[in-house]
Structure 1
Amino acid sequence: MNTLNTERVSIVDAFENLMDIEFVSFDTETTGLSPIAAKLVELSGVKFRLGDDHFETFSQLINPECDIPYEATAVHGITQEMVANCPTYVEVVPQFFDWINNSQAVLVAHNAPFDVGFLRVAFAKLKLETPPHYVVDTLTLTRQLLTDAPNHQLGTIVQFLELEEGGYHRALADSHHVRNILRKITKMNDSLKGWKDLCELYSILKLDEELDLLPPVPAFVQESIDLINAALERDGAIAFRYNSLGRERKVKPQALIQNRGIYYLTAYCFHFAAERTFRLDRMSNLRHHE
């Protein structure tokens, strides 16, 4: 994350005073931990400014179109029945950004790379350009500024700062917690006045950019990327072998996704008649399939 610090400072003229920024704290609930394999089941946000008690909210359960594992329900309490008649991410993610309705709004999340990963994957699958919002990570911020805290989990920080607790592990409740954390931290620290101050704490990332300097893409992976992109452009199918074993897979590509330097293909698998996800570096003998 540190490598992009100077780029974040470059917009300081637009955000000299944090009080001038419209923030949107947000949170996601999901079926699992991987943004590639897991699905969104809830997306919520709270729109606010630091010097104003007024806020607006967005909250929507999402039908993941798959089973919600028991382990995930045990964390957030969202069941299959709760999402059965809800819209999918195809509707909800664009609605969320329509609700934000401000290209200069700054998003805020606790452990932001997790939530950002799911939004990036959603936009890739939707074949839409990811909005270029900046994102403040309150996990990084609290690690830098609250060194005496027992740990920096969301609930611990809420208690450490003596904030109103309420519920946890539902997207809207956690979005309110994130808002309260940012408000309290900026009040406690006179040094946090402008955008540059947040940048110097390495707490800023961008929704439409990778966080880390990525290694070069291997030639065989790049060849796969080119072939898949060609299939996506012509709405065609491809065939390949996976993990160098077993039968040939025949799929119709839906989206090509990069996450933490690894490329993935989400595609409709003709054999299983369902969506499947594949790592490009485990695919071989790729060819166009008619």
Structure 2
Amino acid sequence: MLDPSSSILDAEFIAFDLETTGCSPDFSEIVEIGAVRFRLDGTEIARFQQLVDPRCRIPAATTAVHGITDDMVADQPPIEEALPKFLKFLGDAEAIGMAHNAAFDVGFLNRALHRCNEVCPLTPVIDTVRLSRRWVHNCRRYTLAALGQHFGVADYVEHRGLSDSLVLKDVFLGVMREGLIVETVGDFLRLAKPKFFRATKPPEKTPCLPSEFAALQAAADSRSTVLMKYQSAKRGVAERSVTPRKFVQFRNTVYLLAFCHTDRKEKQYRLDRIRDFHVDSGE
């Protein structure tokens, strides 16, 4: 267990990164876990890298980002086998975890913890985006690539689990050198305000759709492209080109989970805000 009174110089840190089939843990899967364990003086203790079979096709648009193909994961262990290996690497809360945009990575792991019925690790996880925005004042952007360039990190294969983790390690060390002065683990955690793992279950149930949305369900089943008019709080009614994935209900609201070709990412849409739609015939 972490001792809050111990010196920050004696602490161990674990930078980790996930690659996935999409942006939402509600309907996307983990395809790679990468991590590196290190100390504040830069000493590397151990590495972890594991491709994961998501048991589904990886969308072409997602492969274009991280380069992981269906063939690469075909013979890899599923998350039920890969997750316990990663939890063993994390250890029993004797290290401080970190991820760049931690809500994303922790969110996917929380869903996996629930699915695999695993005990949540007690490892605190700091968000290096938040840490960088607070302590790095002369950087125009706070993406991992931009921060890596700011701190002079060597070129790397972007958007792969282990390579991103190694860059994250160097970025974090750069942030600490740039002016984050703390003496103890407790002082550091109070400043960093870490997240903690909490197993989360999927949305409550699969809904029964009104008859007027039957064609939308058929489009989800066939992975067809749908052109729809959607009313959002910020944009008003706007046209969207989407590929429906599935429908979920949370409390009393039904959502369409879909890949949005307009914004090039996975999104969720409230069914009651879809004003019109038709399936694109491709003609």
| Fold conserved between structures, TM > 0.5 | yes
Determine the structure 1 residue equivalent to 2:76. Answer: 86
* Deviation for aligned residue 1:198: 3.3
Cα distance in 2 for partners of 1:148, 1:12 equals 32
Give the superposition deviation at 1:100.
2.8
Q: 2:249 pairs with 276, 279, 282, which one?
A: 279
TM-fit CA distance, 1:209: 8.1
* Matched AA of 1:69: P
Q: Deviation string for 1:132-190 (max 9, x for gaps)?
A: 21001111000101122111000000001112232210000000011111112212225
Shift in Å at residue 75 of structure 1?
Answer: 0.4
- Preserved CA contact (<8 Å) 1:243 1:283: no
**Structure 2 CA distance, aligned partners of 1:83 and 1:40?**
11
User: How far, CA to CA, are the matches of 1:167 and 1:23 in structure 2?
Assistant: 22
- The AA in structure 2 aligned to 1:175 is S
Pairing 1:113-128 to 2, within 5 Å after superposition: 113-128=103-118
Return 198-207 or 58-67, whichever deviates more. 198-207
The two structures have a TM-score, normalised by structure 1, of: 0.68
Deviates more, 1:71-80 or 1:94-103: 94-103
1:168-179 paired onto structure 2 within 5 Å: 168-179=158-169
CA contact (8 A) 1:31 1:40 kept: yes
Answer yes or no: is 1:56 the counterpart of 2:46. yes
Give the conservation status (yes or no) of the 8 Å contact 2:52–2:82.
yes
Alignment CA distance shift 1:66-1:51 (3 Å): same
Q: What are the within-5 Å matches in structure 2 for residues 85-164 of structure 1?
A: 85-164=75-154
Counterpart selection for 1:21 from 2, 11, 21: 11
Residue 243 of structure 1 and its aligned partner are, at CA, apart by 4.4
Paired AA for residue 128 in structure 1: E
Shift of 1:244: 5.3
- Cα distance between partner residues in 1 of 2:47 and 2:137: 31
Residues 15 and 94 of structure 1, relative CA distance in 2, 3 Å threshold:
farther
Once residues 118 and 247 of structure 2 are traced to their aligned partners in structure 1, the CA distance between those partners, rounded to angstroms, is: 19
Deviations 1:71-111 (A, max 9, x none): 11010000011011111111001111112333322111111
- Is contact 1:186-1:193 (8 Å) kept? no
In structure 2, relative to structure 1, the CA distance for the partners of 1:190 and 1:45 (3 Å cut) is closer
CA RMSD of aligned residues (A): 2.8
How many equivalent pairs are there? Answer: 222
CA distance in structure 2 between the partners assigned to 1:95 and 1:148 by the alignment: 39
Distance 1:95 1:188, change over 3 A: same
The C-alpha deviation readout for 1:29-64, integer Å capped at 9, x for no partner, is 000000111000000110111125233101011110
Asked if 1:194 corresponds to 2:218, the answer is no
Instruction: Give the letter for the 2:130 counterpart.
Output: T
Distance in 1 separating the partners of 2:253 and 2:82: 32
Identity across matched positions, percent: 30
Aligned to 2:208: 242
Instruction: Classify 1:71/1:51 alpha carbon distance in 2 versus 1 (closer, same or farther; 3 Å).
Output: same
Q: Which runs of no fewer than 5 residues in structure 2 stay unpaired? A: 215-244, 255-283
**5+ unaligned residues in a row in structure 1: which ranges?**
1-10, 211-223, 229-239, 248-274, 285-290
> Quick check: 1:37–1:277 contact (8 Å CA) kept in 2?
no
CA shift in 2, pair 1:107/1:12, >3 Å: closer
Alignment of 1:220-259 (within 5 A): 241-243=207-209
